[in-house]
Amino acid sequence: MRRAALALLAKRISPPNLSIMQDEGWSVSRVRTELLSGLTVALALVPEAVAFAFVAGVHPLVGLYAAFMVGLITALFGGRPGMISGATGALAVVMVALVAEHGVEYLFATVVLMGILQVIAGAMHWGKFIRLVPHPVMLGFVNGLAIVIFLAQLTQFKDPASGGTEWLTGASLYMMLALVALTMVIIWGVPKVTNVIPAPLAGIGVVAILVIALGLDVPRVGDMASIEGGLPTWHVPMVPFDLETLKIILPYSVILAAIGLIESLLTLNLVGEITGKRGGASQECIAQGAANIATGFFGGMGGCAMIGQSMINVKSGGRTRIAGIAAAGFLLLFIVAASPLIEQIPLAALVGVMFMVVIGTFAWNSLKILTRVPAIDAFVILLVTAVTVAEDLAIAVVVGVVVSALAYAWSNARRIHAITRESNSEEGAKVYEIQGPLFFGSAEGFAELFEIDSDPDRVIVDFAESRVADQSALQAIEAVAGKYEAAGKTIKLRHLSRDCHELLTKAGHLMIDSDDDPEYQVAVDYSVRTGILGGH
């Protein structure tokens, strides 16, 4: 179901007749598409980076330098060509308290340590654990992120003259809405006519030309802040290199590293489903870490993958590393040389692009399947969506995984049961054929299966249809054995699997005979004496 749902999402956001360029070689057309896609992404990065810098309480150039550095390095070395990284809101909201209390230099040091932790995570191959994220959590993540992107655009409808505290009204509001709608119509219509130019870039270009030519009084990029600046320069964070500094920055670094990796790896999975690519989780972790280390030493606020800009890139035709590199290069060009021109772009055009990203990102099919999937899966989808909007992506994913894991454990805990019969080989003995997994969740239910007082003197417990999974299961077996021993009865264990033998051996309960039953490849007919599993 996961593959089908994300395939539908891929079909919905990909432009018609767009080749993924598998085994078709390079061409002028392909390079042009990649460069134009990078330009489109760069234009969308500017207001996002500036806005997130304001959220974190730092200068706009700190956000722009982060978008350039993180975007460039991850484009070069990341695990998934086509992904776009930069300064993100999920990280910015964590940085607020640090900057307010200790200043921006501590932020730079935190970003460096954050990067080091991410490199370690990649080197340890911890990125593979992202596969434990269930599909309902992924759907909730995508839906919640679409809503977050939508809500973030609403701030652009505030009047710059009021310092961003009052909403636009009257003719200004209607003009803004009209330009947003025009941008969205252009993005929708251009792919039906041509794929020569990315639809989002066409929307931005047409609306920008219209606004500038007619001299329309609408909010523009320059109304947020000036993006003019020079090249980023090497800058060692000016903080004391002592244990006290480490105590300050370490908690923030751990949180930022975790949030950055979770968002990046989920974006990697989503882009992978769309482009048909697999793997690269560890490489992405290392690339994100290296990017943040460099960013911290060049005066940036750090960053991670940006699903909104990644979707813009995919929709615009970007499939290779060229698009990401071009996006970073264009962004630096905007800062150094083209700021007067970029500052004239109307915010309405960029809002229109992001609204189309929202429409393309939201998993609309998830609304249809809510009544068809198990109730717990529907609950997880809604829960993760709500927590993503109310808190942040990392917390939402962790909550979703925990709830899904608990639901799975409870479901398996209820599967434990036993079929009883008389033994064919030992007259008068009662056989309990255990079925279902035996682990911490089902240990109590396992103990309740036995009728110790009414059972005969000889009892056989057959585990051929069960699996002993953990220490709680071993303890449950010992507890039952102890009760039979106290009642003066004998219990035998049969068909314990090899992995169970290993658990028992590690726990010091059982010495394993290497000559196991050749048919079952298990130890057969183990006896329990005085509460200790033994015999062979």
Distance (Å, whole) CA 353 – CA 199: 9
Residue 129 lies in a domain: yes
Predicted confidence band of residue 529 (pLDDT cuts 50, 70, 90):
very low
- CA torsion angle 132 134 140 146 (round to 10): 60
Residue 64 lies in a domain: yes
- Take residue 278 and report the two structure tokens written for it: 């697999």
pLDDT at residue 5, rounded to an integer: 47
Is the per-residue pLDDT at 506 higher than 80?
A: no
Distance (Å, whole) CA 457 – CA 418: 19
Residue 123 lies in a domain: yes
Is the per-residue pLDDT at 68 higher than 80?
A: yes
pLDDT tens-place string over residues 388-439: 888 877 788 889 999 999 998 888 888 889 999 888 777 788 999 999 899 8
DSSP conformation class of 463:
E
Predicted confidence band of residue 503 (pLDDT cuts 50, 70, 90):
low
Provide the b/e sequence for 66-103 (b: ≥16 CB within 10 Å).
Answer: bbbbbbbbbbeebbbbbbbbbbbbbbbebbeebbeebe
Predicted confidence band of residue 291 (pLDDT cuts 50, 70, 90):
very high
For residues 329 and 448, membership in a common domain is answered with no
Distance (Å, whole) CA 356 – CA 180: 10
For residues 478 and 397, membership in a common domain is answered with no
For residues 318 and 421, membership in a common domain is answered with no
For residues 132 and 209, membership in a common domain is answered with yes
Nearest Cα neighbor of 323 from 315, 260, 514 is 315
**Number of domains the chain is built from:** 2
Distance (Å, whole) CA 179 – CA 346: 9
Range of the domain at 384: 2-11+27-401
Nearest Cα neighbor of 352 from 212, 189, 213, 217 is 189
Is the per-residue pLDDT at 24 higher than 50?
A: no
Nearest Cα neighbor of 146 from 358, 350, 399 is 358
- Take residue 67 and report the two structure tokens written for it: 């978008």
| Alpha helices by DSSP H, 28-88 | 28-56, 60-77
For residues 436 and 391, membership in a common domain is answered with no
Is the overall model pTM greater than 0.85, yes or no? no
Residue 19 lies in a domain: no
Mean pLDDT across the stretch 44-49?
89
Which of 63-67, 126-130, 210-214, 232-236 comes out lowest in average pLDDT?
A: 126-130
Predicted confidence band of residue 4 (pLDDT cuts 50, 70, 90):
very low
Q: Who contacts 71 (Cβ-Cβ below 8 Å, separation ≥6)?
A: 45, 84, 85, 86, 303, 324, 327, 328, 331
Average confidence score pLDDT of the chain? 84
State which of 373, 401, 429 marks the end of a domain: 401
State which of 401, 432, 457 marks the end of a domain: 401
Beta-sheet pairing, 85-86 with 532-534 = unpaired
Q: How many helices (H) and strands (E) does the chain have?
A: 21, 8
Distance (Å, whole) CA 442 – CA 445: 5
Mean pLDDT across the stretch 277-289?
89
User: Are 251 and 95 contacting, i.e. CB atoms less than 8 angstroms apart?
Assistant: no
For residues 395 and 481, membership in a common domain is answered with no
pLDDT at residue 236, rounded to an integer: 95
- Residue 124 is which amino acid? M
pLDDT tens-place string over residues 318-339: 888 999 999 999 999 999 999 9
User: Are 268 and 83 contacting, i.e. CB atoms less than 8 angstroms apart?
Assistant: yes
Residue 412 lies in a domain: no
Q: Is residue 396 helix, strand or coil?
A: helix
pLDDT tens-place string over residues 88-111: 888 888 898 899 999 999 999 999
pLDDT at residue 196, rounded to an integer: 82
For residues 484 and 346, membership in a common domain is answered with no
Distance (Å, whole) CA 524 – CA 513: 10
**Tokens 């300050």 — which residue?**
248
Mean pLDDT across the stretch 463-485?
85
Is the per-residue pLDDT at 510 higher than 80?
A: no
- Take residue 186 and report the two structure tokens written for it: 């252009």
C-alpha gyration radius of the chain:
30
CA distances from 327 to 310, 447, 468 (A): 11, 62, 53
CATH number for position 519? 3.30.750.24
For residues 330 and 479, membership in a common domain is answered with no
Is the per-residue pLDDT at 27 higher than 90?
A: no
For residues 226 and 277, membership in a common domain is answered with yes
Residue 315 lies in a domain: yes
Residue 202 lies in a domain: yes
For residues 394 and 449, membership in a common domain is answered with no
For residues 385 and 425, membership in a common domain is answered with no
Q: Is residue 441 helix, strand or coil?
A: coil
For residues 357 and 459, membership in a common domain is answered with no
Residue 408 lies in a domain: no
pLDDT at residue 505, rounded to an integer: 58
55 CA to centre of own chain? 22
Read out DSSP for 137-199? HHHHHHHHHHHHHHHHHGGGGB-GGGTS-SB--HHHHHHHHHHHHHHHHHHHHHHHH-SSS-H
Q: Who contacts 405 (Cβ-Cβ below 8 Å, separation ≥6)?
A: none
82 CA to centre of own chain? 16
User: Are 249 and 109 contacting, i.e. CB atoms less than 8 angstroms apart?
Assistant: yes
**Tokens 């790896």 — which residue?**
265
